[in-house]
Structure 1
Amino acid sequence: MTDTPLNTISEKLDWLAQRYWKFGQDDLFLDYLEDLYEVDDEGHMTSTPRRDPLADETRGLMFLARSGNGKTATIKKAIRETPVLEEYTDQGEGNTLYMEVPPDATIKSLAEDIAKITGYSGFHKSVTAPERWLICRRRLRMTGITTLVIDECHHILRPGPGRDVPGAIQALKHMVQSDHAVALIIAGVPELREGILKEASGETYRRFDECHLPSIQPGSGEAERFSRCVATSARKLGIEIDPGLKFSERVLFAEHGEAGRAVKLVKDSLRRVITKRRSRLELEDAERIFVKSNGPKEMTPFHPGDWSFVESELKAMGWVR
């Protein structure tokens, strides 16, 4: 296949925005995801959730990672690239409903959002949370949705006035217990697990497998793949990065190995070089981007000089982002 050259700024920026980098977390998540479903006679995953033959329940998956580690991108890519999963649309097509929970969401408001997306007109304010979720389960059955993804799920478990945390935990459990139980994927920061564990009986927690998305560790295979992705993308864009700068190592150190944040920092740095119509990335490019997001620092990982010296100085200072 011919590698089409990128000539204009807009072509380069569009290519960079669409570029997806794989470091191994995709395969990890897919391994857990496939366990939620039946397989056909060829051993291929189907869209039918597996049911426990004794309890007649499906299984949930808890996908955990620190903020910025790339869990949302991993989930969305898995949905796009798994042939039997099709994201549900406003036109009422698809078997996989992806919901991203806003910070102020409650268990009631999430139920209302799910109901509206699946064509339900809305709830009277007197309708209780359990009643809303009963209607949601019926709507999922009517629309043929067999997979429900609730991203940033930890938001509905935050305590506070008007927030029913025990009810939220119960609602998650019922999604794998009902007549139309779905393959339920809940994603969030590690506090999501802690919130569900607050249920004294542990009944909800034991219905979920756990997939932890690790940070990229220095010297690991993931770190090597990250460096290759950076180099490959730079070459495609016609941008030179001096290997002696140890640019990838600096980025991973700066972002504590959090994949999502590290990718964003690299892409924003490359974008700066493109828009400035230059052909060489300098440490100053990354430092400017980093400071914009994190505020001024006495010293950053993009300080000029030998990386081993800069790294040792930052560690001695007790580096935090």
Structure 2
Amino acid sequence: MEVLTMAQPKLPKTPVSIAEVVDKLAANHIVTPATDRFTGHFERLFRRSDSDDGAIVPRLHTGGLETRGVMVLGEPGSGKTALVRHHLQNHEGLVPIAGNDWSQYLHITVPSPATLKSVGLEILKKLHYPNISERAERWKIWEAVKHRLSLLGIKVLWIDEAHDLFSPSAARERDDILKTIKSLMQGEHAVVIVLSGTKLLGELTEVDLQVARRFSTVILSEISYASDGENLEGLIAHYAETAGLAVNFTDDLIQRLIYASGNQFGRAVELIVFAIEAALEEGAKQLGVEAFASAWALQEGCGFDENIFVARDWAMLPGPHEHATLADSKRKRGRK
């Protein structure tokens, strides 16, 4: 893994400087194999235009009638949102058109409740569309969406948490949702669609073969000690050095970190940054298991015996965010 745009601040001594270091670390983009895979999938969706400025335009298929898209699938904490955001924000072909102050891609997160109407209204809100009523009919909302996307020259529509579109509450609209996605990828002003969500999204879209063939898929795999342990150790050392800290690795710190992150890369990085913040706030000179234990206790609200970073039988403990569920179950059993 390659770390980009790393800063080298001095050892922070005040809450303000600690926050600055933590923000810089959290903002860093880490190149992983998934980065290259997504880049490959995304670039094949476009071609260079015939204009002198070398702008990109969506590549059309089926006799020049429709675009293609890409799905990015991974469990919560895998880093899929950060991966897509960094790529789109830094893509030279999606920078604002001269004279405009908006980019040529649009990012929305599926709102709650997830309905075809609510998604359409969310898109119009992001596009600063005036005077659209929540009582408007669905067809009118989506006609406005298509017109606005075309008017503003939007080339990519990125729908994050897209699996929520196919939740049980939205099941009755599933066919209409799939048809609407297909319609955005057709016609004179068709856009490229990027869908990101859990692996459930891939399973649900497979029920419609016409949608499935329009999307290629990038899957963010779980991390493991065998394949990612060395890279994580290097990342911790680099981040600690950036924050002015030495590192004290215990024999199984990386294994505990991977388990505590639920085998998800993005969550592991968040824990590393959180541990560095804990070490700095405690005035420590080095980053060790104590800082990770403090970060985990704050995040999960667990006691010493349930702390993955200090407990002897840590592999038998609940993983991330499971403590609240277990505590709730115990309370319910106690009421019976």
TM-score by length of 2: 0.81
Is 1:84 the counterpart of 2:93 in the alignment?
A: yes
RMSD across aligned positions (CA): 2.8
Is 1:219 the counterpart of 2:226 in the alignment?
A: yes
Given that residues 265 and 286 in structure 1 are in contact (C-alpha distance below 8 angstroms), is that contact kept between their aligned partners in structure 2? yes
- Between the two proteins, the alignment pairs up a number of residues equal to 305
Residue deviations 1:16-68, cap 9 Å, x none?
32232333322222121111111479xxx953111115252100111111011
1:5 deviates by 4.1
Identity rate, percent? 24
Residue 278 of structure 1: aligned partner: 284
Determine helix, strand or coil for the equivalent of 1:249: helix
Determine helix, strand or coil for the equivalent of 2:189: coil
Q: Tell me which amino acid in the other structure corresponds to 1:254.
A: A
Q: Which runs of 5+ in 2 are unaligned?
A: 1-5, 321-336
Given that residues 137 and 178 in structure 1 are in contact (C-alpha distance below 8 angstroms), is that contact kept between their aligned partners in structure 2? no
Residue 206 of structure 1: aligned partner: 213
Residue 307 of structure 1: aligned partner: none
Given that residues 51 and 59 in structure 1 are in contact (C-alpha distance below 8 angstroms), is that contact kept between their aligned partners in structure 2? yes
Q: 1:302 aligns with which of 284, 309, 333?
A: 309
Q: Tell me which amino acid in the other structure corresponds to 1:118.
A: L
Distance in 2 between the 1:294 and 1:4 partners?
A: 30
Distance in 1 between the 2:49 and 2:123 partners?
A: 30
Given that residues 73 and 196 in structure 2 are in contact (C-alpha distance below 8 angstroms), is that contact kept between their aligned partners in structure 1? yes
1:13-52 → structure 2 map (5 Å cutoff): 13-19=19-25, 20=28, 21-39=30-48, 46-52=55-61
1:299 deviates by 4.3
1:112 deviates by 1.2
Determine helix, strand or coil for the equivalent of 1:211: strand
Query: Structure 2 vs 1, CA of residues 142 and 65 (structure 1 numbering), >3 Å: closer, same or farther?
Result: same
Is 1:135 the counterpart of 2:169 in the alignment?
A: no
Given that residues 87 and 96 in structure 1 are in contact (C-alpha distance below 8 angstroms), is that contact kept between their aligned partners in structure 2? no
Residue 275 of structure 2: aligned partner: 269
Query: Structure 2 vs 1, CA of residues 40 and 92 (structure 1 numbering), >3 Å: closer, same or farther?
Result: closer
Query: Structure 2 vs 1, CA of residues 55 and 301 (structure 1 numbering), >3 Å: closer, same or farther?
Result: same
Distance in 2 between the 1:122 and 1:154 partners?
A: 29
Query: Structure 2 vs 1, CA of residues 155 and 122 (structure 1 numbering), >3 Å: closer, same or farther?
Result: farther
Residue 71 of structure 2: aligned partner: 62
Residue 153 of structure 1: aligned partner: 162
1:158-307 → structure 2 map (5 Å cutoff): 158-160=167-169, 164-199=173-208, 202-220=209-227, 222-296=228-302, 298-303=305-310
Distance in 1 between the 2:171 and 2:133 partners?
A: 17
Distance in 2 between the 1:193 and 1:127 partners?
A: 31
Is 1:105 the counterpart of 2:153 in the alignment?
A: no
Determine helix, strand or coil for the equivalent of 2:213: helix
